[in-house]
A and B are shown apart, each in its own frame.
Chain A
Amino acid sequence: DGGITQSPKYLFRKEGQNVTLSCEQNLNHDAMYWYRQDPGQGLRLIYYSQIVNDFQKGDIAEGYSVSREKKESFPLTVTSAQKNPTAFYLCASSPLAMTGLNTEAFFGQGTRLTVV
């Protein structure tokens, strides 16, 4: 079955450590996105990518980094520079253009990151 997979579901890290969240899709989508979800703040865009080896900063990119070496994969690294990294992180993918009938973004099940 086609879909988008985030792993792990729960992640614990000590303060000061970098941590990488995995996102893999087999939907043959060109575009991929990373969001952070905090209570009362909705989904905020961290990074997005429309093509391999290219990505753009979203609204809250500071303290995060990404890579897009393969079409299927878009890992997110939460660096020690991120001041408040504890949050729920969602990855999504979509076709490059939303013009097709019923085109939409598909989401993974999310990773809950807790930094202690």
Chain B
Amino acid sequence: AQTVTQSQPEMSVQEAETVTLSCTYDTSESDYYLFWYKQPPSRQMILVIRQEAYKQQNATENRFSVNFQKAAKSFSLKISDSQLGDAAMYFCASYSGNTGKLIFGQGTTLQVKP
């Protein structure tokens, strides 16, 4: 079965500090992709970062990076130098290259304190 679990309903971070959001997933397939999406109060979904499972190197996008631990099926998101605009709900997602199924976790609401 393909599952995604986010165990932190809410997180908070001080502006300019670093925060890590956790995500674990389960899949029996070898062809899959992982994503982090951001949903601000407007509810528009925005891609933050993506990771191909066959790549060992962790993806980075400016202040955003992931820690992809394939054996542990863990895919955490690190936000460095947090900004007020980072406040949003963050969703971890898994895409199966075999079935075309794209599923999401429960989400983590991130609060950024000035």
A interface with B by C-beta (< 8 Å): 31, 33, 35, 40-45, 48, 50, 56, 58-59, 88, 90, 92, 94, 96-99, 102-105, 107, 109-110
Contacts and interface: CB of A to CB of B under 8 A. Distances in A.
B64 interface: no
Given A98-B33, A98-B95, A99-B97, A42 B45 contact: no
Interface stretch (B65-73, B75-83, B103-111): B103-111
A110 B45 CA distance: 10
Size class of the contact patch on chain B = 20 to 34
A41 B105 CA distance: 8
Interface of B: 6, 9, 33, 35, 42-45, 47, 50, 52, 91, 93, 95, 97, 99-107
Give the residue among A35, A40, A43 with the most B Cβ atoms within 10 A. A43
29 contacts: A33-B102, A40-B106, A43-B103, A43-B107, A44-B104, A45-B101, A45-B103, A45-B104, A48-B100, A50-B100, A56-B100, A56-B101, A58-B101, A58-B103, A59-B103, A90-B45, A92-B45, A94-B102, A98-B50, A99-B52, A99-B97, A102-B50, A103-B50, A105-B35, A105-B47, A105-B95, A109-B42, A109-B43, A110-B43
B102 A107 contact: no
B44 A109 contact: yes
Nearest to B1: A59
A56 B103 CA distance: 13
A89 to B, nearest CB: 11
Contact of A42 (B6, B44, B95): B6
A88 B97 contact: no
A107 B35 CA distance: 14
Given A42-B6, A98-B95, A104-B35, A48 B102 contact: yes
A107 to B, nearest CB: 4
A92 B102 contact: yes
Given A31-B100, A98-B95, A107-B45, 10 more contacts: A31-B102, A40-B9, A40-B106, A42-B104, A43-B91, A43-B107, A48-B101, A48-B102, A97-B97, A102-B50
